[in-house]
Amino acid sequence: MTAETDSERPPRSILKALITGVTTRQRGRGDDAPVDDQAQPTSRRSLLRAGGAGVAVGVVGGVAGIVAGDGLSAAEALPETPVSAAGVPSLGPWRPRPAHVDVSWAVDTTQKLVALTFDDGPMPNWTPMVHDILDDARIPATFFLIGRRVVRHARLIHGRMDRHAVGNHTWAHADMSRMSHAEAYRALSRAHAAITEVTGKEPAILRPPLGNIGGTTLSAAGKMGYHVVLWSLKMREAALRHPAGRLVDYIVDSCEPGTILLAHDTGHRDRLVSIRGLPAMIRGLRAKGFEFVTVPELLEATGSAPPDA
């Protein structure tokens, strides 16, 4: 995905609500063009480490990963800014409430339930196509939306989200694992306001961009009352693009009860193979007895429902 130009301005009413209180530094980072979400599979060796400071992590269903931050040096970092993904900063007695965050990348269930998820939209290129496919199949999905794109492209999803669930994919798709708690909270709260305003649905789930999780990702998620949702299976467009049908077979063969499948409704055109294959994947999974549910429905299916936002 090429860098997105940001020439259009959101409607003033929403803009006013969203940018109030944003510092220069936050605006400079947060409004950087979203990076491509060539989502890295989370390393099973880099175990989730919620570094002290009062964050307990309830891990559901597998192993969450951290990509250690390699950004700001200690000298460059503001006092409250973590230099790695692992630390929750604290300049004194401080504790996010609730002091507990659930992280799920799949759900332990024997029911043949699968949740399709689409990240990074809404964007004009593929989002309407994805909605058409889901409408034709009459199945729900979960869209992890980028806040500023929701504002800019509100018309793309207007009236089309009734069946679907929304998730927060931050305001501008910056790497949360390198943010301070305040930056992470801002990235979430701005997107939360935009998604709620435009879709009429209040998100209660977060997918951090790239799947990168730091301590401040969790502390900000906890403050928002979010359940962090990763994935257990993803479209492997680059590897399985040829021959035709190979990606479809891979997805249909790989889905298990409780799978959360990562896809994108925008991005580099190489990813289009997954959208084109979507109807066949849906047919194939249905033929195997799978039922499509939203992520919140999937989490509820095992009693691990997201907390009320």
119 is annotated as an active-site residue: yes
CA angle 127, 39, 238 (to 5 degrees): 80
Min separation Cβ 79 and Zn ion, Å: 29
Dist. CA 187–CA 133, nearest whole Å = 30
Q: Given the rule CB under 5 A, which of 16-24, 111-119, 126-134, 300-308 is the region that contacts Zn ion?
A: 111-119
Question: Least distance (Å) from Zn ion to the CB of residue 123?
Answer: 11
237 binds Zn ion (CB under 5 A): no
* Structure-token pair, residue 152: 């800019």
Contact 184, 204 (CB under 8 A): no
Write the interaction track for Zn ion spanning residues 21-60; mark x where CB under 5 A is met and - where it is not: ----------------x-----------------------
Q: Which is nearer to Zn ion, 37 or 183 (CB)?
A: 37
Amino acid at 225: G
State which of residues 4, 102, 120, 265 lies at the interface with Zn ion (CB under 5 A): 120
Question: Which residue's structure tokens are 């020439």?
Answer: 7
Which residue, among 210, 195, 67, 103, has the nearest Cα to 142 in the 3D structure?
A: 195
- Please give the backbone phi and psi of residue 247, each rounded to the nearest 5 degrees, phi first: -65, -40
Compute the Cα dihedral for 64, 223, 161, 176 and give only its sign. negative
Closest distance of CB 119 from Zn ion, Å: 4
Q: Which is nearer to Zn ion, 231 or 290 (CB)?
A: 231
Q: Strand pairing partners for 260?
A: 115
Q: Which residue has the tokens 């909270």?
A: 185
- Given 102, 119, 175, 265, which residue is catalytic? 119
Residue whose CB is nearest to Zn ion in the complex, by number: 37
Cβ closer to Zn ion: 120 or 265?
120
DSSP state of 128: H
175 near Zn ion, judged by CB under 5 A: no
Binding of Zn ion by 265 (CB under 5 A)? no
Stretch of 2-10, 118-126, 156-164, 295-303 lying at the interface with Zn ion (CB under 5 A): 118-126
Give the DSSP per-residue string, 157-185: HTTT-TTSEEEE--SS---GGGS-HHHHH
Shortest Å distance, C-beta 235 to Zn ion: 13
- What phi, psi does 224 have (nearest 5°)? -80, -10
Is 197 near Zn ion (CB under 5 A)?
Answer: no
Instruction: Report the residue number, 194 or 301, with the smaller CB distance to Zn ion.
Output: 194
Alpha carbon of residue 305 to chain centroid = 17
What backbone torsions phi and psi does residue 65 show, to the nearest 5 degrees?
-120, 155
Q: Which is nearer to Zn ion, 120 or 237 (CB)?
A: 120
Task: Give the contact letters, 209-228, x = binds to Zn ion (CB under 5 A), - = no.
Answer: x-------------------
Span near Zn ion by CB under 5 A; candidates 95-103, 119-127, 149-157, 160-168: 119-127
CA 124, 8, 37, 103 torsion-angle sign: negative
Q: Which of 4, 119, 183, 265: binder of Zn ion (CB under 5 A)?
A: 119
CB of 303 to Zn ion, least distance (A): 28
Q: Reply yes or no on whether 265 is catalytic.
A: no
Q: Specify the DSSP element, H or E, that contains 115.
A: strand 113-119
DSSP symbol at 6 = -
The residues assigned a catalytic role are: 119, 264
Positions in the binding site for Zn ion (CB under 5 A): 37, 119-120, 209
